[in-house]
Amino acid sequence: MTMMRYAEALNSALREEMQRDPTVFMFGEDIGRYGGVFKVSKGLMEEFGENRVRDTPISEQALTAMAVTAAMSGTRPVLEIMYADFMPLTLDALVNQASVFGYLWEGQVEIPFVLRTQGGGGVGTGAQHAKSLDSFVAHVPGIKVVAPVTPADAKGLLKAAIRDPQPVVFLEHKLLYNMRGEVPDGDDVLVTIGKAKVVKEGTDVSIFATSKMVLEAEQAARELAKDGISAEVIDLRTLRPLDIGAIMASIAKTHHAVVVNEGWTFCGFAAELSASIMDHCFDDLDAPVERVAMPDMAIPYSEPLETAMLPNAAKIAAAARKALA
């Protein structure tokens, strides 16, 4: 095991996959000489050259279409979109090309590319640089969507995503890049896409969370424990495909559910997760599913106002108490 930051774990995954497979290459805005705005690609242009680590103009729509075409042509591109807020510019290539070409060509065409981007609030970057738009892409069949929270999962899931034959949207949170954790050594230590992880076992209520909200859920569980409430925390890790088996197993044990996501409440991922639980676990529930998500408004630039609207441990704990009332 090696201790490293989340950003370093991603960098390690990219380096190892580029060393392993010469068809893997990277491109995006400021990822080369500058090393990426969050330094995830630091040093990779110097190691692999400008043909495999390419700086690009600012045109997310064109870049995503290029990634689709490159993937169809036999390479494995890794595209970085600097902020998740710019994801709407990629949707034509993702929704009308990447997600359907395998179907249209009856499996004769594979689209093995990864679109990396980061989102989330918490540092006062305002309404245009702090969104969590995971539901935009998780809605579309034919695209896998992952959102790791630990450095180990960041590395293992990114390596798995690069090797996957389908398009994968890889979601990172800006407040996780400096998080430190132990990462397994070895070039072939992968994390399976589509498998959730129990990060804390419990018996009274299940808390299902994504990305940074897993950390808030863990803190909520510690607060609940002071009141004698045993909360189970599940890190979904993958939004699509969703590990419904892990969800069912947890609710069969606790009979209460709280779902947490940093996206907006209306039509957000938390809404789909709540509906999936009702579809598959209704008979095991002793109370309605509680949702913790963002209010339906633009994200304020003011850090105190932004902090007030973000989901947090206190709100999660309150939702758990309501579910158990």
> CA–CA separation, 260 vs 270, rounded Å?
6
Query: Among the options 8, 16, 60, 262, which is catalytic?
Result: 60
- Chain centroid to Cα 285, Å, comes to 27
How many other C-beta atoms are found inside a 10 Å radius of the C-beta of residue 177?
19
Q: Check if 172 is active-site.
A: no
| Residue linked to tokens 């699509």 | 240
> CA–CA separation, 21 vs 8, rounded Å?
20
Q: Which of 89, 84, 81 is nearest to 31 (CA)?
A: 81
Q: What per-residue string of b and e applies to 200-231 under the rule 16 or more CB within 10 Å gives b?
A: bebebbbbbbbbbbbbbbbbbbebbeeeebeb
Q: What are the CA-CA distances from residue 211 to residues 23, 45, 101, 167, 322 (Å)?
A: 29, 28, 29, 20, 23
Query: Among the options 8, 16, 17, 129, which is catalytic?
Result: 129
> CA–CA separation, 56 vs 45, rounded Å?
13
Q: Check if 60 is active-site.
A: yes
What residues are labeled active site? 60, 129
